[in-house]
Amino acid sequence: MKKEKILNLFVGSNNRGKIKEIRDLLPKKVEILTPNDLNLKSPKENGKNFNENSFIKAKFFSKKSNMICLADDSGLEIDSLNRLPGIYSARWGGKKSNFNLAIKKVYKELKKKNLSWYKTKTSARFICSLTIYWPDNKYITVNGKIEGTISRFKKGNNGFGYDPIFIPLNKKITFGQMKPKEKYKIDHRIRAFRKIKKFF
C-alpha cells in the first residue's frame, strides 16, 4: 500500500499513557490531535480481539475527525488466568480504568488460583495492535508482543497500566522500573510501530 507520509494524525485514545508513548515514537514533525481536542468520546469496544478493537477505534475516530487515525488496543495476557485480562485489561480497573484497582484484581485472581503462585514463574505477555485508518477507507493493522512474567510485588513508578508488575523476558526489573528510553527499545508497542514506521 503506497501512501504519502503522514504529517497530521489523529491518535484515537483517551489514555494519557498511551498518547505519550505514541507521541514519543512518532517523528517530531508529525502533528497530533486526540479525542480530547475535539471533545470526542471513545466508541464501544465490542471486538473479540485486540485487532478488532483497534480497527473499531481507528475507523470511528477517522470518520469523526475526517483525519488519518492511528488507534491502539493493547493489554496483558496471563497464562494461568486463561489469558485474562486480555482485551479487558482497562476494564479490570472499573469505569475509570484505575490500574491500581486492576493490579489488585490481578493479584487477587492469581491467589484464587494458587496461594503460592509466585513460587513458580507466572508467564504473561503484553500485546499491542495498531491500526491506521485513512479517510478513503484504506487501513492497515499490525501487531507486536513481548513475553515475560508477573512480578510478586508492584515495582516502579514509570510507564502506566500494568507496567509495574510485568518483567520482560531476560530482564530482572519491571517495565515500571525501566526508564522510558529503555522500555521503548523492547516493548510491544515499539514492536508493532516498527511495522508502520514507513508511513511517517
Which residues, 6 or more positions from 82, have their beta carbon under 8 angstroms from its beta carbon? none
For 159-195, the pLDDT digits (tens) are 999 999 999 999 999 999 999 999 999 999 999 999 9
Cα separation of 73 and 46, whole Å? 12
For residues 154-160, give the mean pLDDT. 94
| Residue 48, amino acid | K
d(CA 137, CA 184): 30
The distance from CA 81 to its chain's CA centroid, rounded to whole angstroms, is: 19
Distance between CA atoms of 36 and 20, rounded to whole angstroms?
A: 14
Length of the chain: 200
Give the C-alpha separation, 165 to 168, whole Å. Answer: 10
pLDDT band at 3 (very low <50, low <70, confident <90, very high): confident
Q: What pLDDT score was predicted for residue 42?
A: 92
Domains of the chain: 8-199 (3.90.950.10)
Q: Is 53 left (phi over 0), alpha (psi -120 to 50) or beta?
A: alpha
The total of other beta-carbon atoms located within 10 Å of residue 2's CB is: 4
Structure pTM?
Answer: 0.93
79 catalytic? Reply is: no
Given the residues 72, 73, 163, 187, the one annotated as active site: 73
Residue 74 pLDDT greater than 80, yes or no = yes
